Structure 1
Amino acid sequence: MSESPQTPEAFVQHFVEVTQRISGQVIGSDLEEQLNQAFPAGGEWFEAAKRMCRAGCEEGWLCAREAGGIKFGRAVPPSDTLNGMSIDVVEMDSIVGPHHSHPNGEIDLVMPLLGAAEFDGRGAGWKVYGPGSAHRPTVTGGKALVLYLLPDGAIEFTRG
């Protein structure tokens, strides 16, 4: 039996700067604005993150599972290195995902791959959901990778 490819340390370290900025912040619209200014779509940091995520999908250490037409996977469990955040990545192509809630909030990095893909109405960039929020994640207009940071790795799939 072969082992699954492991998440490279360089990938984890790329997100340390972001999780340090998030640590201690209220997770909401102000944080979304801060992240979009500090790590803007099309900027050097964003493009490096997108390259790493694409490579991870190709190499099999990201989005290694699939259900309902959505590729997904947890790349990094919550850790002190990431200030208590986990990293998950999904690949979605014009599809509505399963309803879930975010007990501690969810910080999403939207990376369109094909077409004018949007995730819950957001094109390339950051989208932040506060604690206690819930949704059916929806990608329209093409294919996107969405990386999400979850405080304490908390997510609850629901019937909604």
Structure 2
Amino acid sequence: MPERSHTVVESPVGRLTLVATDGVLSGLYMTEQRHRPAEDTFGTPDAAPFTEAAQQVEAYFAGELTDFALPLHLEGTPFQRRVWSALRAIPYGATITYGQLAERLGNPSASRAVGLANGRNPIGIIVPCHRVVGAGGSLTGYGGGLDRKRRLLDLESGVGGVF
């Protein structure tokens, strides 16, 4: 059975719970996040596996990091993992629509399925599901809340005074 541990770090968008499976980052969850697993699934409290992840998250919010370099343990269906991999290819500061992401995955009619997989992303911010927007650029469907999505996009676009 995999060993799970977690820690909580403060951020400008609230407390973030980092979860590791066998020492590899497998979750980053915001408070009051849709699809957030139950606390008892996060394992034992232990900050040791999260030193690098916590430093990179802090650097991201300071505007000093645009690309995370961390090993990730993504648990999901093959389709979900394909979507999450495609999310990691969206450049810092850019956005893409659900339809465009479905096209990139070779299935232009799968925008709804892409949206559902996006919403189940277990490693928010690092796997940048906040960079996916609705048709016409509308802010839709962010499990962490639209205010947080706007703040993350503003950070990445260089809008001053976000944090």
TM superposition score category, shorter chain reference: under 0.3
Structure number with greater Rg is 2
TM-score (norm 2): 0.27
User: Which has the larger share of helix?
Assistant: 2
Bigger relative contact order (CA 8 A; separation at least 6): 1
